[in-house]
């Protein structure tokens, strides 16, 4: 961006909250980082204006990108915002704590997991991703059966792919999601079970490949299993793609070819 003045950048972001282009501006604040931006964000976290608190939280979440600038100070401010009276601020703070991978926030986030507003529950899921504390895992298990498909999807992703913890509770939760009404949830559950080398993973992947709609996540599961039993279904899908009038997405075809190669023993 050509805007050099930090205050102007913050004001522009403030005008764009909830609109197209907002995250482009916030990403620029993240990229620039530094003391001036931290201080402005910290000041706005204490503002009486909801939008300023929200922007402050969004800015602190990834300040300096991988440099993780002002980590301790940011986490303290963000945990404080979890007690805010506005759901947008709470959600932003929870997302930001997830970006900071804050173990310090786990208990507070867990306490918010039954929140009546979906926006907050989804923020909680993001805040708990990568956390292996038993309470965090229990909260994600509960959120994996949430009434919101997006919350279920991210919670299942968190259990299946964002941690390596493997126990009966996690496996049971993932197995339950194999019959979810939302295909993305089913895919996340399947891949979580494949990565944990569940003895029934081949059977479940075979069934998934027979679904009317097959997504790349199913193909990735097949590739990771590299089991010859899956080869006939993969070849059937390939033949169907070749015979259709519509053009199949190149990435899907690439994943399909990789799965076929793996299950043929060519990897």
Q: Is the pLDDT of residue 247 over 90?
A: no
What pLDDT score was predicted for residue 244? 77
Any idea which of 62-66, 228-232, 263-267 has the lowest mean pLDDT?
Answer: 263-267
Give the tens place of pLDDT for each residue, 72-84: 999 999 999 999 9
Per the CB < 8 A criterion, the answer to whether 165 and 136 are in contact is no
Per the CB < 8 A criterion, the answer to whether 149 and 181 are in contact is yes
- Average pLDDT for 222-248: 92
17-44 CB burial, b ≥16 within 10 A, e <16? beeeebeebbeebbebbeeebbebbbeb
CA distances from residue 13 to 20, 27, 111 in whole angstroms, order as listed: 10, 10, 31
In angstroms, the CA 242 to CA 85 distance is 55
Per the CB < 8 A criterion, the answer to whether 42 and 68 are in contact is no
pLDDT tier for residue 2 given thresholds of 50, 70 and 90? low
- Give the count of beta carbons closer than 10 Å to the beta carbon of residue 83: 11
Give the tens place of pLDDT for each residue, 99-156: 999 999 999 999 999 999 999 999 999 999 999 999 999 999 999 999 999 999 999 9
What pLDDT score was predicted for residue 250? 92
Give the tens place of pLDDT for each residue, 26-53: 999 999 999 999 999 999 999 999 999 9
In order of their start, the domains of the chain are 1-100 (1.25.10.10), 106-175 (1.25.10), 199-267 (no CATH)
What pLDDT score was predicted for residue 6? 87
Three-state DSSP class for residue 68:
coil
Q: Is the pLDDT of residue 1 over 60?
A: no
Q: Is the pLDDT of residue 19 over 80?
A: yes
What pLDDT score was predicted for residue 9? 92
Q: Is the pLDDT of residue 213 over 80?
A: yes
- Average pLDDT for 240-266: 90
What pLDDT score was predicted for residue 151? 98
What pLDDT score was predicted for residue 66? 82
pLDDT tier for residue 4 given thresholds of 50, 70 and 90? low
What pLDDT score was predicted for residue 221? 98
What pLDDT score was predicted for residue 267? 65
Give the tens place of pLDDT for each residue, 152-194: 999 999 999 999 999 999 999 999 999 999 999 999 999 999 9
């Amino acid at each position: 961006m050509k805007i050099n003045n930090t205050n102007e950048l913050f004001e522009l972001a403030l005008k764009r909250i909830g609109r197209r282009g907002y995250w482009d501006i916030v990403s620029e604040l993240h990229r620039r980082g530094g003391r001036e931006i931290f201080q402005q964000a910290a000041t706005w976290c204490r503002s009486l204006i909801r939008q300023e608190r929200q922007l402050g939280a969004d800015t602190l979440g990834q300040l300096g990108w991988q440099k993780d600038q002002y980590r301790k100070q940011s986490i303290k401010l963000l945990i404080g915002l979890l007690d805010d009276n506005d759901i947008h601020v709470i959600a932003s703070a929870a997302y930001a704590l997830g970006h900071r991978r804050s173990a310090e926030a786990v208990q507070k986030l867990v306490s918010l997991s039954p929140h009546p507003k979906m926006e907050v529950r989804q923020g909680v899921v993001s805040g708990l991703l990568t956390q292996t504390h038993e309470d965090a895992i229990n909260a994600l298990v509960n959120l994996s059966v949430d009434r919101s498909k997006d919350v279920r999807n991210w919670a299942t992703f968190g259990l299946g792919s964002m941690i390596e913890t493997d126990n009966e509770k996690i496996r049971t939760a993932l197995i339950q999601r194999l019959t979810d009404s939302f295909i993305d949830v089913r895919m996340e559950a399947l891949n979580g079970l494949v990565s944990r080398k569940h003895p029934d993973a081949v059977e479940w992947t075979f069934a998934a490949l027979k679904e009317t709609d097959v997504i790349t996540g199913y193909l990735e599961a097949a590739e990771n299993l590299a089991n010859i039993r899956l080869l006939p279904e993969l070849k059937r899908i390939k033949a169907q793609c070749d015979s259709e009038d519509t053009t199949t997405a190149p990435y899907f075809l690439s994943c399909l070819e990789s799965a076929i190669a793996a299950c043929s023993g060519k990897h």
